[in-house]
Amino acid sequence: MSRIAIIVVSESAMPLAQRVAHSVAERAVCWPGGDFSVPRCECSQQPRVLKSPQDGPAERSDVQIFTKKDIGPYAPFLKEHWTELDAVIFIGALGICVRSIAPALKNKYNDPAVICIDSTGQYVIPVASGHVGGANNLARQIAETLGAQAIVTTQSDNEGLWALDTLDRQFGWTADTTPARMNQAIFAFVQKQPTALLLEVRDAGTAYLERTKPDHVQIFFRREDLDPKDFDLVIAVTPCALPDLPENLPVLAFRPPVLHLGFGCRRQCDPAGIPDAIAAQLREAGFSPKSVATVGTIELKKDETLLQALLAQFPQAQPAIYPAETLAAIDVPNPSEKALAATGSAGVAEAAALAGAHGGPLWIEKQKGKVTEGNDFTFALAQEAASLRAGHIEIVGAGPGDPELVSVRGKRFLEQADLILYAGSLVPVELTHYAKPGCTVRSSASMDLEEQFALMKEFYDKGLLVVRLHTGDPCIYGAIQEQMAFFDRYGMHYHITPGISAFQAAAAALRSQFTIPEKVQTIILTRGEGRTPMPEREQLHKLAQSQSTMCIYLSAAIVEEVQAELLQAYPPETPVAACYKLTWKEERIYRGELKDLAKIVRDNNLTLTTLLVVGEAIGNREGLSRLYAHEFKHLFRP
């Protein structure tokens, strides 16, 4: 939990201080190390205490508001408590703030975030530790709450450049550098000197760097393509040793946690010297110990002191303990009958490394070692499969039709893709206009499954990014199961980006909440029985007995049968809506009653891409939720 001191210079600014206290209490504060929530505070005329409701009475406040009457001169108070604080928020003149914090300042890696807010609440100024301490982000968030202006003076922020000194904590990497070298890299970068960016893994951080690359940065995925004489700075995201580079060339290396170390050892193995020996062998093999994400072994060895020694050697790593049956199911290149008899696994080190890597490659096969007599050990190293710079398939939900309703993540994949294979009969072609120059765009409307697979695999095998673009949310009637079976069979890496489904677009277009408090609390997504048979237990007339809101896909062609089944349970006057091409330019919506549903569909020639909605929630305005009732108490409104 963070500790924040709010210092009020003038008592007249106390209401503003209380608003600031509530603003940091009621929202997640984005620090470089991640997001955390500060619980609600209670403000009074004494120093204000912010505490977690589940903690009970707190001995130390998480957020306190102080005046000079409470603490005396500001500078001695801050110097005494400087290392205990995560943020200091001054409300008053900037000069008073600067003079008060000056005696306590150390460096940006240790100082808390310092913010100064003028007493009228118009300006919020990050004063110290803007990036590393999070003052810039905190200032922006407070400014949003107050309707104020954040005055951020950091050059990289104002020019839209990466904050190099926070990338490691932002993306879970380890910066393999010194403060002096970091500052040297920052200086070169913000001066927009020619910069090479070497990305030898793929994760959320590298995707962000690719997407937001400044003009003075050139990206390389293979080190042999990088000619150092063309650059004044090299930034690398890699678990591997860097290539030989000129001594005068600034280099900033980030180590992503993508390596998985597996180990085995004799019972009650003395760990003395073993962690150092393993780290040295990793470096000798060309890998950075700072990229070790897990230290794994069999459950039998979970209490060995060697495990704790290895975790101390690789402090960024997490322990990974596997049952014997899990490791026994993994094929290893160097099986041992002796290990199998003793542990139930033919190779603990290799199997544990591979288990952590989720199918990634084993870079270092089983190595046997012995630093002191009688203390034999083995280790192996594998890399996380998802981190490999190889082909990738992203199954993207296009949303119901409007190109602006695709998710932000989906849009980014469309902008980065080397191949976009889209369901041309169901997805508007406008969505493919996000494609970058040189991207191949193909409609799958005329292709059978084998042709689609062949095309995607062709691009995948070249290490390229494939986007398979499906209508709505691909997991709802998206026909992706057979595609995923193919990807699994060939060991292809893929992921699903969800999309807005037609039933959600229908609720919005109908201006309806599909649930009614205390009356309708279930939404059924289903289809009528056409060429694809329905399970007996899911026949429409059986589902209709619940009187829930029902959204019926792919059924306009059999609307007479649908109406007949629904009328077995719903009253004839039940509201219905036939929604054609929701959010498309051609969108049409027809409302009526269930007894007229078939006529509505036939009279208006509604066929494909029509969603049928049935239930009294359509257009309902009766019934009140208790969520916002004054007496309804919860964590944020106790």
pLDDT at 454 over 60: yes
When pLDDT is averaged across residues 252-265 and rounded to a whole number, the result is 97
Higher-confidence residue of 289 and 533: namely 289
pLDDT at 30 over 50: no
- Model confidence at 570, pLDDT cuts 50, 70, 90, reads very high
Query: Which H/E stretch holds residue 41?
Result: strand 41-42
Residue pLDDT, tens place only, 174-201: 999 998 999 999 999 999 999 999 999 9
What pLDDT does residue 608 have? 82
pLDDT at 251 over 50: yes
- Model confidence at 154, pLDDT cuts 50, 70, 90, reads confident
Higher-confidence residue of 121 and 635: namely 121
- The rounded distance, in Å, linking the Cα atoms of 553 and 532 is 12
Confidence (pTM): 0.68
What pLDDT does residue 243 have? 76
Q: Which two tokens stand for residue 384?
A: 């996380």
Farthest-apart Cα atoms in the chain, separation: 89
- Model confidence at 52, pLDDT cuts 50, 70, 90, reads very low
- Model confidence at 23, pLDDT cuts 50, 70, 90, reads confident
- Model confidence at 278, pLDDT cuts 50, 70, 90, reads very high
Residue pLDDT, tens place only, 75-108: 999 999 999 899 999 999 999 999 999 999 998 8
Q: DSSP string spanning 255-297? A: E-S-EEEEEEE-TT---TTHHHHHHHHHHHTTB-GGGEEEEEE
- Model confidence at 25, pLDDT cuts 50, 70, 90, reads low
- The rounded distance, in Å, linking the Cα atoms of 21 and 38 is 10
pLDDT at 587 over 90: yes
Contact status, residue 419 vs residue 466, Cβ threshold 8 Å: yes
What pLDDT does residue 55 have? 36
What pLDDT does residue 638 have? 66
When pLDDT is averaged across residues 291-299 and rounded to a whole number, the result is 97
Contact status, residue 261 vs residue 318, Cβ threshold 8 Å: no
When pLDDT is averaged across residues 51-55 and rounded to a whole number, the result is 33
Q: DSSP string spanning 155-211? A: HHHHTT---TTTHHHHHT-EEES-HHHHHHHHHHHHTT--EEEEE-S-SHHHHHHHH
Q: What is the mean pLDDT of the chain?
A: 89
Euclidean distance between the first and final Cα of the chain, in Å?
20
Contact status, residue 529 vs residue 558, Cβ threshold 8 Å: yes
Secondary structure class of 570 (helix, strand, coil): coil
When pLDDT is averaged across residues 47-54 and rounded to a whole number, the result is 32
For the chain, percent of residues with pLDDT exceeding 70: 92
What pLDDT does residue 525 have? 96
When pLDDT is averaged across residues 577-584 and rounded to a whole number, the result is 95
- Please state which of the ranges 42-56, 228-242, 277-291 shows the lowest mean pLDDT: 42-56
Angle at 501 between CA 499 and CA 503, to 5 degrees: 160
For the chain, percent of residues with pLDDT exceeding 90: 73
- Model confidence at 3, pLDDT cuts 50, 70, 90, reads confident
pLDDT at 58 over 70: no
Domains of the chain: 4-153 (3.40.50.11220), 167-255 (no CATH), 259-387 (3.30.420.180), 392-500 (3.40.1010.10), 503-614 (3.30.950.10)
pLDDT at 383 over 90: yes
- The rounded distance, in Å, linking the Cα atoms of 372 and 61 is 51
pLDDT at 56 over 60: no
- The rounded distance, in Å, linking the Cα atoms of 116 and 150 is 10
Contact status, residue 465 vs residue 417, Cβ threshold 8 Å: yes
- Model confidence at 635, pLDDT cuts 50, 70, 90, reads low
- The rounded distance, in Å, linking the Cα atoms of 555 and 532 is 11
